[in-house]
Amino acid sequence: MERLRKIGFSKLTPLEEASDLLLSNISLTTVEVVETSSSLGRFLAESIKSGLNIPPFDRSAMDGYAVKAEDTFGSSPQNPRNLKLVGKIEIGEKSEGIQMKSGEAIRISTGAAIPLGADAVVKIEDTKIEEANISIYLPIVPGKNVSRKGEDIPQDSIVLNSGTEIFSSHIALLSSLGIETVKVHSRPKVSVFATGDELVEVGQMLGENQIYNSNSPMISNLTQQYGGTVIREETLKDDKILLKKKLYESVEDSDLVIFTGGTSVGTQDFLPETIQENGTILVHGIAIKPGSPVLIGVVEDKIVFCLPGTPVAAYLCFVELVGMALRKMMGASEIDPRTETVAKMSRDVPVSGMGYIHFLRVKIEKLGNEIIAHPVKLKGSGIISSLVQSDGIVKIHPYQEGLKKDDKVFVIRLK
* From 22, 329, 343, 376, residue interacting with its own copies (rule: CB under 8 A): 343
Q: What is the Cα–Cα distance from 36 to 18, expressed in whole angstroms? A: 36
Q: What is the Cα–Cα distance from 311 to 379, expressed in whole angstroms? A: 15
Q: What is the Cα–Cα distance from 236 to 195, expressed in whole angstroms? A: 5
* From 18, 83, 105, 177, residue interacting with its own copies (rule: CB under 8 A): 177
Segment 303-332, which members bind its own copies (CB under 8 A)?
A: 309-311, 315
Is residue 82 within 8 A of residue 63, CB to CB? The reply is no
* From 45, 179, 304, 306, residue interacting with its own copies (rule: CB under 8 A): 179
Omega cis (within 30) before 188: no
Is residue 357 within 8 A of residue 395, CB to CB? The reply is yes
* Window of 239-247, 262-270, 279-287, 393-401 that interacts with its own copies by CB under 8 A: 262-270
* From 22, 66, 173, 332, residue interacting with its own copies (rule: CB under 8 A): 173
Tell me the closest approach of the beta carbon of residue 300 to its own copies, in angstroms.
28
Give Cα 84 to chain centroid, integer Å: 54
Segment 363-382, which members bind its own copies (CB under 8 A)?
A: 366, 369-371, 379-382
* From 132, 342, 354, 367, residue interacting with its own copies (rule: CB under 8 A): 342
* From 13, 127, 264, 274, residue interacting with its own copies (rule: CB under 8 A): 264
Is residue 27 within 8 A of residue 186, CB to CB? The reply is no
Is residue 139 within 8 A of residue 73, CB to CB? The reply is yes
Q: Indicate the pairing of strand 229-236 with strand 189-195.
A: parallel
Nearer to its own copies, 25 or 398 (CB): 398
Q: What is the Cα–Cα distance from 111 to 245, expressed in whole angstroms? A: 64
Residue whose C-alpha is closest to residue 275's, from 311, 252, 253, 302? 302
Is residue 339 within the footprint of its own copies (CB under 8 A)?
A: yes
Tell me the closest approach of the beta carbon of residue 40 to its own copies, in angstroms.
5
Is residue 213 within the footprint of its own copies (CB under 8 A)?
A: yes
Nearer to its own copies, 205 or 241 (CB): 205
Is residue 121 within the footprint of its own copies (CB under 8 A)?
A: no
SS3 327: helix
Tell me the closest approach of the beta carbon of residue 316 to its own copies, in angstroms.
10
Q: Indicate the pairing of strand 127-130 with strand 104-108.
A: unpaired
Is residue 118 within the footprint of its own copies (CB under 8 A)?
A: no
Nearer to its own copies, 24 or 267 (CB): 267
**Which amino acid does the sequence have at 68?**
K
Nearer to its own copies, 156 or 252 (CB): 156
Bridge partner residues of 394 (DSSP): 360, 411
Omega cis (within 30) before 308: no
Tell me the closest approach of the beta carbon of residue 303 to its own copies, in angstroms.
20
* From 74, 142, 178, 355, residue interacting with its own copies (rule: CB under 8 A): 178
Is residue 387 within the footprint of its own copies (CB under 8 A)?
A: yes
Segment 11-70, which members bind its own copies (CB under 8 A)?
A: 36-37, 40, 52, 54-57, 61, 63
Q: What is the Cα–Cα distance from 332 to 337, expressed in whole angstroms? A: 10
Tell me the closest approach of the beta carbon of residue 284 to its own copies, in angstroms.
15
**Cβ within 8 Å of residue 135, ≥6 positions away:** 80, 81, 82, 127, 128, 129
Nearer to its own copies, 212 or 298 (CB): 212
Nearer to its own copies, 41 or 80 (CB): 41
Tell me the closest approach of the beta carbon of residue 227 to its own copies, in angstroms.
14
